Amino acid sequence: MTPGYVDYDKLWKLVKSKGIKNKTELIPMANISTNVLAKLNKGEFISMDSMQKICIALNCDVGDICVMNDVQKDPEQEIAEK
């Protein structure tokens, strides 16, 4: 997992457990765009609106579908903050 990214492994396990055979089925089910699905596959951040749509569609909570990875600060940014 890349620093600063989101781990959606819990989402894919939940999708599979609900009998959803293909990730693309999540698009109409949760009314999300193909771009959101692409971001999920890359472990990128998505909007809270999209997150809510997915949670409603899967009847779950945000913590059930993702884990935040530690965000590492740029060393130059840390120096500037001191």
> How far apart (Å, rounded) are the C-alpha atoms in residues 58 and 32?
13
75: enclosing H helix or E strand: helix 75-81
Q: How confident is the model at residue 68 (pLDDT cuts 50, 70, 90)?
A: confident
What local confidence, expressed as pLDDT, does residue 66 receive?
A: 94
40 pLDDT higher than 90: yes
- The pTM assigned to this predicted structure is 0.78
Element (H, E) at 6: strand 6-7
